[in-house]
Amino acid sequence: MQTDELELRRAMKGDEAAMRQLWLRHSPHIDAVVRRLCGDHDVAADVAQDVWIQIFRALPGYRGESQFGTWAHRIAVNRTLNALRKVKRLAKLETDIEDDSASVEGDTDRTFLAESIDEAMVQLSPGARMVFVLHDIEGYTHEEIGDKLGITSGGSKSQLFKARAKLRRLLAHLVDESTAGIGRTHVAPV
């Protein structure tokens, strides 16, 4: 942990090698948050680049009141939400994506289940996806989500309900396949 602190202080003073080490250590988590919020890998790549630029610009002002990863995570969420507001106004959040053919190419070392969940999340409306990611994955409260997205906590709860319902429907085949034959008999009722 002492080397992390030293590395952080060096990065705060503009040491590029230390900045690169911070990026290497924290980019998998930060970039994953951006990807989940965006839902589109191309948009996420652009936004993640902007997020890291903002993190390094803000680094001299980092006060150490929270861990660097937590601080960077907050910047990533806020910057991503701001970028998404520019791309698609939040007024259009209720528009459902009905294209069931949407797919996401996964990395070869990702599991089938993770790929299926990612593909299902892409099919959520942008608002439902953002609320789902912020609440169920990132752990934000409905009040915090409401503040960040400019909606009521009730609106956040409604979006989360819709997201979970659609994910259940989209992922039902995985549950059916995994439980096929377990505790079931194929005998017609009498």
In order of start, what are the domains of the chain with their CATH numbers? 1-87 (1.10.1740.10), 91-180 (1.10.10.10)
Query: What pLDDT score does 88 carry?
Result: 62
- Model pLDDT, residue 76: 93
Cα distances (Å, whole numbers) of residue 105 to 5, 49, 52, 122, 153: 37, 20, 24, 12, 34
Pick the range with the lowest mean pLDDT from 3-12, 42-51, 93-102, 129-138.
93-102
Distance (Å, rounded) from C-alpha 133 to C-alpha 102? 19
pLDDT at 112: 73
Residue 17 has a pLDDT of: 92
Which residue type, as a one-letter code, is found at position 166? K
User: Can you give the pLDDT at residue 177?
Assistant: 53
Residue 68 scores a pLDDT above 60:
yes
For 121, phi then psi, to 5°, come to -65, -35
Q: Is the dihedral of CA 24, 29, 30, 34 positive or negative?
A: positive
pTM of the full predicted structure? Answer: 0.59
CB 143 within 8 A of CB 150: no
Instruction: Note the pLDDT of residue 97.
Output: 40
How far is 64 from 34, CA to CA, in rounded Å? 23
90 — phi, psi (to 5°)?
Answer: -65, -15
| Three-point CA angle 48, 90, 129, nearest 5° | 60
How many angstroms separate the CA atoms of 1 and 4, rounded?
5
